[in-house]
Structure 1
């Protein structure tokens, strides 16, 4: 049997109620979306002649065996639907990739023509895409009669499956490469990891704690002076300081002034460290994100990462600069006050603390539930931020298709989910913890009763009772701090978990520790048996080899998705090849430093991105030390100068969100000017003129022809006629290179390139354009 997912015992039991023993299952897999793309536990089982889809929901609740025992989770599977198909009705299964999800579909055999030829089997999110490809490979092998695979293959598949899940709790790893379960990770070790960062501020934090201890010490002294000492030593005729009221008032006033000054010093130190810690922490997080390879960002939403950089950094600051100091001070205060209370009256001290252990045991149990509420709240917050970022980024498309009401509905659903999560966490906090406070204050009433009888019986003076009650009320405040801290602690620990996930992530593309210097780059590029896939089970570039001599211009053509842009991404090392090598001047690019490699390559992509700022700043982004004359010269070559000088502030015109909006062609020409200013030895034009009309493209083509002279140039083009002057053209199809040659040679060959060229010429003639 091949298990691509660890099937829960409850699901196996549900399958057996259908008369299908789990032992007869050949392949077991799981997806996470139902037919309507709603989150759901979708289990797929393949037996000798059938495919069974069991959809439902795995839920768990805590079974309590008493208030002092650890609650145990009980899991249940609620069946939503059951589908049964005959495997003989299908000839092939495949995975269809969509924008943010995928689906498994099956093609019916020709003799089964009563139903549509292609049938949906299951929907899935990108999280389960790798398992879906494995499932498709195995079920297709089963259909072709290759069902009895070697046990080694099955063991390998099961081992891969086991590596995806935490062996302790069974949850899927957030990052399979790290194999770190954030739920089971030792929380103390998490705090230790971040405490290393805060050692650089130990002087400031020590000063904060010292000032807080001084303030706390003066606060402990105050009840004795204003109660016990005042009543028993100043107002009592038998007291040592009878009648010296002004002395007491002076002492109280001095202690208040000293406490005020210490508090001011504490506030100044805290204010100075607050901004610096937050700044440094966000800088560290951003640096960690920036070090990651581009593959890390492909499956993550920008809104979610923004939440991590901002909110999580602030939460961690408050933990170390607020919670930790107050925890230390309150711990000292509790110890100090209890010692004083024991000296004053041991019996009343024990009565006053009678309910405290019970309150802490209950709090510890509640911590588990509250942690789940906070994790859910953050998840909903991140989901809402990601949706909002997505909608605002694509607002033009939303308005073009008049989808405002649909997007408002989508936003409303997630907004309500966040509001519900916030409400549940808040209701839980505000209803449960007041009962704990009440439990602690029961001791207060007991002390009033017992203490009152002791005063009446002459076993305690009135002043001592008042002082004891004051200290008792003082000790409850720090005790309640440790009860309330549970709410803040869960938020902070969740933030630390999420940031460690970013900071511990290992980049896919790593710079060589001992890079080989390129020196004077000639521009020779060689692809040697290059194999690459964005996912382990999908090959995009399949054993491709070619060599570009210095100064040559080559064109790369092919259908959309054939792998043309991937070649450019591999050359600038946004990704690393799976096997084979890419060399520049005979040196493997993996042995070249990032800076050395990329300063000699410029790319003009079809996905033009301009930063917020002036046009001058955007062009100089390629070379910050360039002069204005060099920027203008590059702009003229790119055909951008004419429209730039017509703008109100010319090159100082600010562009980006909230400023001047440029057309697609104008943005592309600025991007080309940026590449020209770089003056690279190797130039990549990835659909560089895609956003320009034919007239504009022709106008700057001569300038581009002059630009590429003496440079190694790779031109990825959708308009094939622009490659007439290329030294040779590579045709890419399904990751391979079926055709290779000059424009004229490929036309004569009448193969793939000829068919593409012919279709394009006919399309242009139909709209009145002659090439």
Structure 2
């Protein structure tokens, strides 16, 4: 819906006022449908579960990733145990070389005890050595080569795991983007009425990108970390059950600390993305209406509004990142305490001969490997929470109420004549404020029906109902005797051509923009439409002719030329019904005369609905409907309505009375009761 339509719709709901749930004329919208989420806490668990459930179509690859992760982690956790064996070989060789050759280990230990050196005797009792023999380099080489093979294998398996997981995540995001795109096409127009464009764009771009980043960086780490903890704890108990129990004390401490910090940062991440969407909406609106901002000198107000929203985003982002950032240093502190305790107790056990030096070294490495995944999980908490917060915002779009689906067995228009009939139609944007009540009218095939009336009378609403942009509250509309709700929307809208007051062109060539009306049209048909609407006249003055590229804002063609292009597009579509909503408002007087002639030719043999404020453009209409407050107060042709001297006559006389008219008198003429004489100079 265009900004002009939105403005009219707001006026239709309550002329002269704009509520918080209505879309004001600046283009900004407020309200719950698809808008900014509230301040309430995110439902983390169900949202995270729903996000992970989207991986289900790729369960085979996910299962493969899990197997590769198990193998990779298994090889990695064996490394410290084997390196401990290498340390024992070196230590045993270094000590054994200092002992007298030819003696047995037991003899050496017995001699030490006889001298009262029990501590040294206990130390040697825990070492596998041969007195007088140095380091066994062959055994050391074999152990180191085995460790190298384990780590290389773990690296290759981890690389393959990451490669497969990357494909799974990106395909999941591809499916999510496609699903959101399809969902947007199924949403009713009222959803977009209540959704600021910048906020909606933030959800379908920034939030989905954030989900992709979160999944990519957290899934592999979470899986690897969990498996690492399991593998490391198992080998820690194999090496030393006592030290393992000491190390496990840190788990509940870490979990409680992480949960406490995450709980405080969770709501701040929701606020961060909420303020991000609000700031995007502010930026999009400011740049879209950049010219108006300059004209009315509102730069300072825009800057102040931007500064406030930017500050809100800063505060929310700072709070979220700072609080969640406390998790990692806290975990590192707990890990360091754990390391000190293990080192002290392990050293005492080596001295007592109950553990080898290699086992203590391996256990210290395991303690690091044990706390490292916990620290990684803690450091990913902020990223995970941010990703789930974005997922929840995207899920709100996916869960939005869709438009009424097309009939599974749609009807067909057997004889396309273009007869449109409103039968006791009732409609309102707000259930508490009826707009159109019990409206009936008939547009015969080939007729030109003009709709006039003050702003907010319901003119644009009438044609929107024909297009089935909104569903009726009561009654029905038929096209050639078939209820339009029984037709598919594509079938209905393919029979209708629409030219709006607000032009819409996309980035592409002039040829592309005209061909948008009929992608199967030939070059000759495109040129014929361009000539009929006088587009051909100004195109030849452009350096590249029909290959001239129009930027997305259409700033390299004038407003009138843009309007002519949209009219040419409708010409090329050759529709059964034609809707013109102030289609000549942006062209100059001379061009308007030419376009009126072309439109008269276009309207021949097809039903046309023309919304007009300049009554000179609809004098030749077959039927003129005068609307006020959602009702048709008069209908007839131009001469009949002038003779009736009613609402139409007042509007007409207000536009075509003498050049000098007192403003107060003109206003009185427009607002005078029906039947009152029109004001004259």
Instruction: Pick the TM interval, shorter chain.
Output: 0.7 to 0.9
Select the residue among 243, 251, 254 that pairs with 1:356: 251
Could you tell me whether the CA contact under 8 Å between 2:34 and 2:191 is conserved in 1? no
Aligned match of 1:231: 87
Q: Distance in 1 between matches of 2:493 and 2:252?
A: 63
Shift of residue 211, structure 1, vs aligned partner: 3.2
Q: Which has more strand, going by share of residues? A: 1
Alignment equivalent of 1:284, drawn from 179, 182, 188: 179
Cα distance between partner residues in 1 of 2:457 and 2:543: 43
The corresponding residue for 2:207 is 312
Whether 1:570 and 2:427 are equivalent positions in the alignment is no
1:253-307 C-alpha deviation (Å, 9 max, x unpaired)? 3223323333443444345445444333212212212210111011111111111
2:75 is the counterpart of 1:218: yes
Matched, 1:710 2:605: yes
Note the C-alpha offset of 1:196.
4.0
Specify which of 282, 285, 299 is matched with residue 387 of structure 1. 282
Match of 2:591 in 1: 696
SS of the counterpart of 1:609?
Answer: coil
Give the SS at the match of 1:622: coil
Q: Kindly provide the CA deviation profile for residues 710-756 of structure 1, in whole angstroms up to 9, marking residues without a partner as x.
A: 00111111111222211111000000111011110000000000000
Farther off after superposition, 187-196 or 372-381:
187-196
TM-score of the superposed pair, with normalisation by structure 2 = 0.83
Partners of 1:741 and 1:522 lie apart in 2 by 22
The Cα of 1:642 is off from its aligned counterpart by 0.8
Per-residue CA deviation, residues 340-380 of structure 1 (Å, 9 max, x unaligned), is 11121111111112132022123223222111110111111
| Alpha-carbon spacing, 1:102–1:521, altered in 2? closer, same or farther (3 Å) | closer
Equivalent of 2:559, from 648, 664, 674? 664
Q: Distance in 1 between matches of 2:642 and 2:556?
A: 41
Q: Is residue 2:406 matched to residue 1:511?
A: yes
Change (3 A) 1:659 1:234: farther
Distance 1:239 1:627, change over 3 A: farther
State the 1:320 CA deviation: 4.1
Asked if residue 209 in structure 1 is aligned to residue 66 in structure 2, the reply is yes
Q: CA offset at residue 562 of structure 1?
A: 0.7
Tell me the CA shift for residue 182 of structure 1: 10
Q: In 1, distance between residues paired with 2:408 and 2:188?
A: 17
Match of 1:751?
A: 646
- Aligned partner of residue 236 in structure 1, secondary structure: helix
Structure-2 residue corresponding to 1:167: none
> Displacement, 1:183?
5.5
2:222 to 312, 319, 327: 327
Q: Work out the CA distance in 1 between the residues paired with 2:255 and 2:335.
A: 10
Counterpart pick for 1:243 among 124, 127, 137: 137
Q: Cα distance, 1:531 vs. partner? A: 1.1
Deviation at residue 549 of structure 1 after TM alignment: 1.1
The 1:321–1:627 alpha-carbon spacing in structure 2 relative to 1, beyond 3 Å, is: same
Match of 2:474 in 1: 579
Corresponding residue for residue 4 of structure 2: none
What does the per-residue CA deviation read over 1:171-210, in whole Å, with 9 as the maximum and x for residues that have no partner?
xxx5599xx9995886444344334432232333334333
Distance, in Å, in 2 between the alignment partners of 1:512 and 1:176 is 26
Q: Which of the pair has more CA radius of gyration?
A: 2
Structure 2 counterpart SS, 1:710: coil
Structure 2: distance between partners of 1:181 and 1:609? 33
| Secondary structure of 1:543's aligned partner | strand
1:561: how far off? 1.2
Report what 1:627 is aligned to. Answer: 522
CA contact (8 A) 2:423 2:475 kept: yes
1:365 paired residue number: 260
Q: What CA distance in whole angstroms lies between the structure 1 residues aligned with 2:332 and 2:385?
A: 19
Distance 1:359 1:265, change over 3 A: closer
Alignment-derived partner of residue 192 in structure 2: 297
Q: Following superposition of structure 1 onto structure 2, how do residues 15-94 of structure 1 map, counting pairs within 5 Å? A: none
Contact 2:34 2:400 in 1 (8 A): no
Shift of 1:233: 4.3
What does residue 556 of structure 1 align with? 451
Quote the residue 2:18 is aligned against: 98
Matched, 1:411 2:306: yes
The equivalent of 1:197 in structure 2 is 54
C-alpha spacing 1:95/1:559, structure 2 compared with 1 (3 Å): closer
> C-alpha displacement at 1:519, in angstroms?
3.4
Given that 2:41 and 2:266 are in contact with CA atoms closer than 8 Å, whether structure 1 keeps it comes out as no
Q: Measure how far apart 1:765 and its partner are.
A: 7.8
- Worse-matched range after superposition: 351-360 or 334-343: 351-360
What is the alpha-carbon distance in structure 2 between the residues aligned to residue 102 and residue 674 of structure 1?
A: 32
In angstroms, what is the RMSD of aligned CA positions?
A: 2.7
Q: How far apart in 1 are the matches of 2:78 and 2:367?
A: 14
Give the match's secondary structure for 2:407: coil
Any idea what the Cα deviations from partners look like across 1:524-577, whole Å, max 9, x if unmatched? 100111111112222222221101111111111000111101111100111111
Residue 518 and residue 751 in structure 1: after superposition, are their counterparts in 2 closer, same or farther (change >3 A)?
Answer: same
Q: Are the counterparts in 1 of residues 186 and 403 from structure 2 also a CA contact under 8 Å?
A: no
Q: CA deviation at 1:611?
A: 1.2
CA contact (8 A) 1:333 1:475 kept: yes
The answer as to whether partners of 1:543 and 1:580 remain within 8 angstroms in 2 is yes
Distance, in Å, in 2 between the alignment partners of 1:657 and 1:176 is 25
Looking at structure 1, the residues matched to 19 and 38 of structure 2 have their Cα atoms a distance apart, in angstroms, of: 28
Change (3 A) 1:652 1:100: farther
| Gap change, CA 1:352 and 1:95, over 3 Å in 2 | farther
Matches within 5 A, 1:591-630: 591-630=486-525
Distance 1:521 1:199 in 2: 48
Greater relative contact order (Cα < 8 A, sep 6+): 2
* CA shift for structure 1 position 440: 3.8
Look up the SS of the partner of 1:729 in the other structure. Answer: strand
Structure 1 counterpart SS, 2:449: strand
Are the aligned partners of 2:293 and 2:299 in contact in 1 as well (CA < 8 Å)?
Answer: yes
Distance of aligned partners of 1:740 and 1:753 in 2 relative to their CA distance in 1, 3 Å threshold: same
- Does structure 1 retain, via aligned residues, the 8 Å contact 2:198–2:281? yes
Contact 1:205 1:321 in 2 (8 A): no
Secondary structure at 1:536 match in 2: coil
CA contact (8 A) 1:182 1:497 kept: no
Contact (CA 8 Å) 1:303, 1:386: kept in 2 or not? yes
Q: How does 1:98-247 map to 2 (within 5 A)?
A: 98=18, 174=32, 187-226=44-83, 228-233=84-89, 235-237=91-93, 238=128, 242-244=136-138, 245-247=140-142
Alpha-carbon distance change, 386 to 526 in structure 1, aligned in 2, over 3 angstroms: same
Q: Are 1:652 and 2:547 an aligned pair?
A: yes
In the other structure, the counterpart of 2:106 is: none
TM-score by length of 1: 0.74
- Matches of 1:731 and 1:519, distance apart in 2: 32
Q: How far apart, in 1, do the equivalents of 2:469 and 2:15 lie?
A: 26
* Structure 2 CA distance for partners of 1:405 and 1:505, relative to 1, 3 Å: same
Structure 1's unaligned 5+ residue stretches are 1-93, 104-124, 129-173
Query: Within 2, Cα distance between the matches of 1:220 and 1:756?
Result: 87
Q: Is the 8 A contact 1:220 1:337 kept in 2?
A: yes
Q: Runs of 5+ in structure 2 lacking a partner? A: 1-13, 94-127, 663-681
